Amino acid sequence: MNCGVIVFPGSNCDLDAYHLVRDVLKEEVTYIDYEERSLQGFDVIILPGGFTYGDYLRSGAIAARTPVMEAVNRFACSGGLVLGICNGFQVLTEAGLLPGALCRNDSLQFRCRQVYVRIENNSLPFTNKASTDQVLMMPVAHGDGSYYAPPEVLQDLEANGQVIFRYVDQRGEAVKAANPNGSCENIAGVSNRAGNVVGLMPHPERAGEAVLGSTDGLVIFESLRGYCKGREVLKSG
């Protein structure tokens, strides 16, 4: 699996994603500059967390208009796998690659804590190593994580299996108390219609080593790795 981690001005979880892929998964990984115009040769593109351009206009809004995003768009349109984490999720919604928007947390405060999410669709390249309804413990760390989409869009997302992660309690129930930011329907992460672009607010890259408190995030990267390997086999076969 050959991963690219995009570095926008103000990205700050680029190191964490890079470290996880290189040192924990032992896979290929490269930083990609925000001015880069080609993403040839990559299997997976990660848009990491952070505060791109300070999130000064709206979270992710300015980063969505950098040169590299044109390349990400082309990459996604040709079926490439794109994972947006936290601010990366915000960038993907601002770029129109994912539906909906991330609004201010209902607490009006930044929140950093462990949450539980349930995998709602385990048929994607991002989730296919997880079991149905598997519950993962991962941290969130954001101020603008409240997912919003108009009711008709939410209906479509549910109907098409595009809601991928939902905030739940430890037992897997999608209760209000488990929702750290007031997002619609406890949504923590969604995909595009084709299922090759996924964004989520929690940080799977921070849940990849036991010393950090959880290894639950690994299943996402293991799924991607498995999928990419399968594709290699298909190609060579």
Is there a catalytic annotation at residue 205? yes
Stretch that binds another protein, among 17-25, 166-174, 182-190, 218-226 (CB under 8 A): 17-25
125-164: contacts with another protein (CB under 8 A): 139, 141, 143
Site string for another protein, 196-215 (x = CB under 8 A): -------x-xx-xx-xx---
Least separation in angstroms between residue 7's CB and another protein is 9
Least separation in angstroms between residue 67's CB and another protein is 13
Least separation in angstroms between residue 153's CB and another protein is 29
113 touches another protein by CB under 8 A: yes
Least separation in angstroms between residue 148's CB and another protein is 21
Is there a catalytic annotation at residue 222? no
194 touches another protein by CB under 8 A: no
Q: Closer to another protein at the Cβ: 221 or 227?
A: 221
Distance separating alpha carbons of residues 179 and 176, to the nearest angstrom: 5
Site string for another protein, 83-112 (x = CB under 8 A): ------------------------x-xxxx
Whole-angstrom CA distances from 221 to 127, 129, 146, 227 are: 8, 9, 24, 10
Active-site residue (options: 86, 94, 120, 184): 86
Is there a catalytic annotation at residue 19? no
27-56: contacts with another protein (CB under 8 A): 35, 49-51, 53-56
Least separation in angstroms between residue 13's CB and another protein is 6
16 touches another protein by CB under 8 A: yes
Give the pairing of strands 44-47 and 135-142.
unpaired
Residues with catalytic function? 86, 203, 205
